[in-house]
Amino acid sequence: MSTPHALALQAINVSKRFGALQALDQVSLKLRQGSIHALLGENGAGKSTLVKCIVGFYTPDDGEVLLGERQQAIGNPRDAHELGIGMVYQHFTLIPNMSVLENLVLARPHLPAVIDWKKERQAIAERMQSMPFQLPLDASVNHLAAGEKQKLEIVKQLLLGVKVLILDEPTSVLTPDEADEVLGRIREMTRAAGLSVLIITHKFREVMTYADDVTVLRRGKFAGSAEVAGVDIRQLAEMMVGSEFSQTALARAAVAEQPLKLGIDALSVADDSGMSAVHALSLQVKAGEIVGIAGVSGNGQRELVEALAGQRPPSGGTIRVMGETYSGRRRELLRHGFHCLPEEPLRNASVPRMSVAENLAFRHYDQRPFSLYGLLRRSRMAAAAVQAIADFKVRPPLPNAPIGDLSGGNVQRAILARELGEQPNVLVVANPCFGLDFTAVTEIHARIMAARNAGAAVLLVSEDLDEILELADRIHVMSGGRLVYETTPAAADPIVMGRHMAGHGETAHAD
Amino acid sequence: MLPFAPFLIPLVAIALSLVLFGGFVGLAGADVQAVYQSIYRGAFGTWFSWQNTLTSAAPLMLTALCTALPARLGLIVIGGEGAVVVGGLAAALTGLVLVDANPWVALAGMALAAMLTGGLLIGLVGWLRHGRNVNETISSLLFNYISIAILSFLVIGPLRDPETLNKPSTHHIGDTHMLGALGDTSIHWGFGYGLIVCLLLWVLYKRTVFGFAVDMVGGNVRAALLSGLPVGRIVFLVCMMGGAAAGLAGMVEVAAVHGRANTSLNAGYGYEGILIAFAARHHPLAIIPMAILFGGIRASSGLMQRDHDLPDATSLVLQGIIFILILASEAVFARLAKRQGSAA
């Protein structure tokens, strides 16, 4: 490695506390000039908090941040900006209905009162030549794909002349190909232009392929730091999860009796604009089986899950649970043990301003022991929540905190505790592991498998093909609102499935 | 954020409003200090003024609920005025039908009729919102105009008592059927109704299964649907309860004050209720002191007019200043809370 050893940025013994939660405890990090440094850790390990301390979004309680070799007071993100530190957040900060050019110009901190668009356009077009990604300046950001938006965010920072670029999980919205392109180009920039990059991730592959150094955090503490060339994945995994690391083997038990539990007959569902998103879809799920629905997002999976969850009325067809017509009403839901884990649990399955304990009680708040004669018994809810929080390792373990204050992974755990805390009879799951680290993923997979083994009928809708291949007993490919191909994990051929997912399968399979 | 911040915000806003109001009356040429004294004297200075204040507060508590209850669902309903009007009208008609009945029966019938009509009016607003996606603020505002027009038509036309010359009204419901006073005060029973209804609804929201469901629907409709809640029915019921409270205010005005339905029903209680609901941050218990405060401002307006030669609208100016400042401080504090919240 020919990287010079000068330090672009370092954090020394940074600590940050939020109420009862010690988010960062004496964490240090050294970013070398012209290198890519990966910050690795599970959800809630403190990666984002550390980075937010560096860019001045938070003020650390203790410790200091040095830029180069000098200590710099970074009081707010604007200071960080002046000092040449730029951050690309996990969620896009672009103005959707403006053009690429407008977004790039408006990102500058000091704008003249009147903008000479002709001049700006020329200047940016020229500088664009030296950028790692080329983007159409006149395209509206609305119409850019997620990958292009991510590139635009990065170009935006580079045009501002940042010397230190911080990326918060930049590849979570990208396909593997796009991720390789983005990270590869960034790596070239560090070599050619002396850019220093700090990248938050929990993907080992990206660390091993693109990073020079890695720092691992575990529960807010410094767990280790190394040159990537000198470590292997196993060592990193151990640093990341400590002694807890255990690969749960997914035992697939044979279930003797397999009555039909979930039946979908010719279900049609319209999307928000009233266009048909699911076309006369039929599907059966038996007890003790996981049926996986694979597909590229936007092929009607979301509308299908929403219809099953009672969040979107179907425009035709029927859903049957245990042979009875099912419409998602509370009585049916409880009688049939129908459980649903939708994607984006904070948006779909929780009330952010209500407490964790209340969110955990959504299924049974109107029954004993959580209420009696119509009056709530909150102490019972809290007691049950304490148990569920311990069982599902929700952090921080505070039943009375609003669930909206929890990190994404912990909201997912809490909702999991609600939906899988009791044995489901029918379980509908959508992208359960989106954005979660691998211990959480392993655990969620194990719990879904356990529910199946105990006789639940599971419908798993996922964009992650590996997840479907790992869990499912039968696989359907969904494309254009229809199930176009059926196979089993043993017989699955990724190339054939890919062709069907892309909508190029033989019509013979369409139903 | 400080635990008592929710109470602090309106208090600070009200204090600031009084300062601004001082500037206004100063510009109008009045002696600022003397005006403050008059407001205090007219509202809370003597037992007599207290009785006036509490009497004015009675309908305000009930109309505030018409905005505060749906607010829990994220709806901004401003139809309290209309619900007061139809409620009062229904109460007067029921009172005339039951004119020979036992006073208790007559009063119960009037209250029920008022709550039902007010409730249906605002329930319709909720149904339009949920079932037809009609903006609830606009529809409830328009219902106010429709209700007032219906009242005017009926009291000037078919239901007019020919003896009412200056102010066309329905016939009187009869003195024996009037709502009495609390003990030997001049405060009528409407104040008791207001207190009881506020307390009951606080318990309903805070302690019951229904309140929990309302929180779920108000917090995230998608999560409520996922849990199988009948969202449409809950929206309708909550709006209906709000409308019923305002309808009861109309009944109180008829049965305790005027004895008849006439255009005094649309004296702005409904609109002032919106203000109180926001000032109380839609909390049923906080509505009680806020309604008393605004009742005091109402009660003291006469004194301001008499002693300082200020126009009748002066108290409206004070109310307006308070309303704007409370809304503005809400926004400021929400931003502060967000900043602190994102640091957690």
Q: Which helix (H) or strand (E) holds A198?
A: strand A196-201
Q: How far is CA A409 from CA A43, A45, A391, A435, in A?
A: 6, 11, 15, 8
- Note whether A149 and A268 are same-domain residues: no
Of A18, A347, A353, the CB nearest to B343: A18
Are B190 and B58 in contact, with CB atoms under 8 Å apart?
Answer: yes
Q: Does the CA dihedral A468-A470-A471-A476 come out positive or negative?
A: positive
Of A329, A331, A349, the CB nearest to B223: A349
- Note whether A240 and A264 are same-domain residues: no
- Note whether A269 and A215 are same-domain residues: no
Is residue A281 included in any domain, yes or no? yes
- In B, minimum Cα distance to A312 occurs at B225
Question: How do the pLDDT tens digits run along chain A, 511 residues long?
Answer: 444 568 888 888 999 887 666 788 899 999 998 899 999 876 667 888 898 888 888 888 888 888 877 777 777 778 888 888 888 887 778 888 899 999 888 888 788 888 888 988 998 888 888 887 888 888 888 888 777 888 898 899 888 888 899 998 887 667 667 788 888 988 988 888 888 999 988 777 788 889 999 998 887 888 888 898 888 877 777 777 665 434 445 677 777 778 899 999 999 999 887 888 899 999 999 999 999 998 877 788 889 999 999 999 999 999 999 999 999 999 999 999 999 999 888 889 999 999 999 999 999 999 888 989 889 999 999 999 999 999 888 888 889 999 988 877 788 889 999 999 899 999 999 988 876 766 778 888 889 999 999 999 999 998 777 788 889 999 999 988 999 999 988 888 767 777 787 665 544 443 3
Residue corresponding to tokens 């005006």:
B35
- Note whether A78 and A160 are same-domain residues: yes
Spell out the domain ranges in chain B.
58-280
Our count of domains for chain A comes to 2
Is B230 in contact with A334 (Cβ distance < 8 A)?
no
Is B208 in contact with A375 (Cβ distance < 8 A)?
yes
- Note whether A113 and A226 are same-domain residues: yes
DSSP result, B159-202: T--TT--SS-BPPP--GGGS--BSTTSS-BTHHHHHHHHHHHHH
Instruction: For residue A351, count other CB atoms closer than 10 A to its CB.
Output: 24
- Note whether A80 and A197 are same-domain residues: yes
Query: Rounded to the nearest 5 degrees, what angle is found at the Cα of B276, between the Cα atoms of B119 and B3?
Result: 115
User: Which residues touch A289 (CB under 8 Å, ≥6 apart)?
Assistant: A255, A258, A452, A457, A458, A473, A474
- In A, minimum Cα distance to B206 occurs at A376
Query: pLDDT tens-digit profile of A267-312?
Result: 999 988 788 889 999 999 999 999 999 887 778 888 999 999 999 9
DSSP B271: H
Residue A43: Cβ-neighbour burial (10 angstroms; 0-12, 13-18, 19+): buried
Instruction: Using CA atoms of B250, B252, B253, B256 in order, give the dihedral in degrees to the nearest 10.
Output: 160
- Looking at the complex, report in whole angstroms how far the Cα of residue B239 sits from the nearest Cα belonging to chain A: 20
How far, rounded to the nearest angstrom, does the alpha carbon of residue A71 sit from its chain's CA centroid?
35
Residue corresponding to tokens 């003597």:
B46
Can you give the pTM of this predicted structure? Answer: 0.74
Q: Which runs of E-coded beta strand occur in A41-163?
A: 62-67, 70-71, 85-88
Are B225 and B92 in contact, with CB atoms under 8 Å apart?
Answer: no
DSSP result, A333-348: HHHTTEEEE-SSHHHH
Are A38 and A46 in contact, with CB atoms under 8 Å apart?
Answer: no
Of A311, A354, A375, the CB nearest to B219: A354
> b/e map of A313-349 (b: 16 or more CB within 10 Å)?
ebeebebebbeeebebebebbeebbbbbbbbbbbebb
- Note whether A152 and A233 are same-domain residues: yes
Residue numbers in A near B226 (CB within 8 A): 309-311, 340, 342, 348-349, 362
Is B222 in contact with A331 (Cβ distance < 8 A)?
no
Report how far residue A181's alpha carbon sits from residue A177's, in angstroms, rounded to the nearest whole number: 6
- In A, minimum Cα distance to B341 occurs at A405
Is residue A408 included in any domain, yes or no? no
- Note whether A41 and A98 are same-domain residues: yes
How does strand A371-372 pair with strand A375-376?
Answer: antiparallel
Report ipTM for this prediction. 0.84
Overall size of chain B counted in residues: 344
**pLDDT at position A511:** 38
Report how far residue B204's alpha carbon sits from residue B72's, in angstroms, rounded to the nearest whole number: 12
Is residue A371 included in any domain, yes or no? no
Report how far residue A487's alpha carbon sits from residue A294's, in angstroms, rounded to the nearest whole number: 11
Q: How far is CA A25 from CA A241, A404, B125, in A?
A: 17, 24, 54
Q: What's the domain range around A327?
A: 260-337+424-509
- Note whether A209 and A266 are same-domain residues: no
Residue numbers in A near B231 (CB within 8 A): none
**pLDDT at position A249:** 53
Report how far residue A321's alpha carbon sits from residue A424's, in angstroms, rounded to the nearest whole number: 12
Is residue A396 included in any domain, yes or no? no
What CATH number does the domain containing A76 carry? 3.40.50.300
- Note whether A66 and A174 are same-domain residues: yes
Residue numbers in A near B216 (CB within 8 A): 351, 354, 362
Select the residue from B220, B233, B340 to test the A interface by mutation, using most A Cβ atoms within 10 A: B220
- Note whether A274 and A170 are same-domain residues: no
Is A374 in contact with B209 (Cβ distance < 8 A)?
yes
- Note whether A204 and A311 are same-domain residues: no
**Amino acid symbol at B233:** R
Overall size of chain A counted in residues: 511
Looking at A186, A217, A244, the residue that finishes a domain is A244
